[in-house]
Structure 1
């Protein structure tokens, strides 16, 4: 069922449908009386609430669900999910739906975290005996004339590289943002995600020189892009992975740039759409937007909410650590003006302002 069909349902039909697919709880137990509540009409955006028949306490039908985190109605949240499934820009959602940008950003952010959980990147493997895997790296933060929104946000001199893997048979892709493209950075990623005995195609970047000598028994072929795009002797080329970069960068360009903190989760979204929702259409590999909508609804089920909550705690801690490192670097550079604002109310910012006041005696917690 797509969003157009869902939007035509009556309020009670909508609630029953969401219960049937696991997005809402089928029952509610009163916390005071410990008895089962009943669905009753009420003047709320959902038109119905759970009501205890003994103490008359009301409980929201959204309790414990993905929808509980927002003041928006269920149908409004589903409409944003539908726009996200169609890969629409957040600015378009704001203009069309008249919903605040922070609410839209939070919903899209949570959907990307669900994509991350579904990908299971730690166990991602491609390749195998006689299977061709293409690898490549691409820079993601070029700015013209030293102006504009820099993706790395805090250090404009550094480049943000993304390492990519694509298997030709399954067409699955993998992306990882890296600080550099040195051998000791890229080789461990290759060993972790590409199975032994695979055939690896790459360009002639020096970090790949040791691939053929790794214990995984890889067969490595390279193409010199300064001379040709396809090696005439071996047929080696990286055209497939190069075409995937276009999809990734168009996603970033569509967002008019993205903060470095959110680059990897946007790459994870592209990976999820490509790997989990891809279909072959007219000899081209695309993803079905209806399939994206239905798959993300499955991921929004109640039994995934605990994992999502744990993931959000991890992300928050990563951001705090990122801000702390950023501020300490600025302190050592005697550059106070670019410190993370204390108004963010994070532990990192309050810590760094204490350090600023005691700059001569830096004490790390």
Structure 2
């Protein structure tokens, strides 16, 4: 099983811009060769600039064009370093101490990386669950729901309200009808079995997060719980400052992205960089695009 490399294994690309560029070229994030978009002639690479070989054209292009590195003032190797430290869940304050970079720069790049992985989240088009597979569901005061199966698949979305009509429509759409649903006693879940025909066990949280029952066929004692989904909510909410609830959905997507990529998450981050062909595809938020171009003045540079 492949795991995220140690810092020491990647240290060379964090300490050298040249090594970082070579690494990004190996990973096909940056191009080694390019055709001139103006005249379609070959271009030669000089340091970080592509030059058209046709004298009448002489168009120049940065090697970082159409990447999140384009126009940024933060050195490329340091950007990768911030991304790595975020992947291994180093706290903001610790990243500042470790790298010596300004809090503003770190905050901006962390925001960019979160937007990047959210944009590249692999959608689960199929229903989750299946025959006798447990799916725990829960709604939150933010109006968001998360489901989980033992295979670690997750599903999250924003809903307008927590009414039975709203929740049951989403349950029918996203959860396999042969699943076994565990939930709390919220009234919106009361008709899961009668309306949808899906097995449903409701746990009264005022009496704890588990419930015991006897299987009428086998006579075995069964224990039902929603511990997993409650634990997930605690993890997610712990990452969001109390007054920053507007970031909840992005944090949910980041959480799911990390669960989709449980092994080498730095490599998964590099894949996101490779997939993102244009900055404009990353987000509709022009403020974030502008932040990528003016990340900070740790080291002012031009491309």
TM-score between the two structures when normalised by the length of structure 1: 0.65
Q: Partner of 2:257 in structure 1?
A: 272
In 1, the alpha carbon distance for the partners of 2:266 and 2:69 equals 16
Q: How many residues align?
A: 272
Q: Given the alignment of the two structures, is residue 250 of structure 1 paired with residue 238 of structure 2, yes or no?
A: yes
Find the counterpart in structure 1 of residue 188 from structure 2.
207
2:210 corresponding residue in structure 1: 230
2:50 is matched with: 50
Which runs of 5 or more residues in structure 1 are unaligned? 42-47, 140-159, 279-287, 320-365
3-state SS of the aligned residue for 1:37? strand
Q: Distance in 1 between matches of 2:37 and 2:130?
A: 54
Which residue of the partner structure matches residue 240 of structure 1?
228
Distance 1:128 1:32, change over 3 A: closer
Q: Rate the CA distance shift 1:95–1:192 in 2: closer, same or farther, 3 A.
A: farther
Where does residue 201 of structure 2 map in the other structure?
Answer: 221
Asked if the contact 1:7/1:75 (under 8 Å) is kept, the reply is: no
Match of 1:325 in 2: none
* CA deviation map 1:234-281 (0-9, x unaligned): 5221111112122112222xxx3453332100111111112x123xxx
Q: Residues 51 and 61 of structure 2 are in contact (CA less than 8 Å); yes or no, is this contact kept in structure 1?
A: yes
2:114 counterpart residue number:
112
Structure 2: distance between partners of 1:78 and 1:2: 14
Pick from 285, 305, 319 the counterpart of residue 277 of structure 2. Answer: 305
CA RMSD of aligned residues (A): 2.9
Q: Is it true that 1:261 corresponds to 2:267 in the alignment?
A: no
In the TM superposition, residue 52 of structure 1 has moved relative to its aligned partner by 4.1
The 2-side partners of 1:214 and 1:97 are apart by: 56
1:11-26 aligned within 5 A? 11-26=17-32
Give 1:163's match in structure 2, choosing from 139, 145, 150.
145
Please say which of residues 187-196 and 292-301 is displaced more in the overlay. 187-196
In structure 2, the gaps of 5 or more residues are 214-221, 289-303
Relative to total residues, which structure has the larger helix share, 1 or 2?
Answer: 1
Pair 1:296 & 2:269 matched: yes
The question of whether the paired residues in 2 share the 8 Å contact of 1:223 and 1:229 is answered with yes
Give me the whole-angstrom Cα distance separating, in 1, the residues matched to 2:209 and 2:37.
67
Contact 2:119–2:283 (CA<8 Å) still a contact in 1? no
When normalised by structure 2's length, the TM-score is 0.77
Cα gap change, 1:81 to 1:183, in 2 (>3 Å): same
The answer for the alignment partner of 2:34 in structure 1 is: 28
Q: Is the 8 A contact 1:248 1:270 kept in 2?
A: yes
Alpha carbons of 1:200 and 1:4: their partners in 2 closer, same or farther (altered >3 Å)?
same
Greater RCO structure (CA 8 Å; 6+ sep) = 2
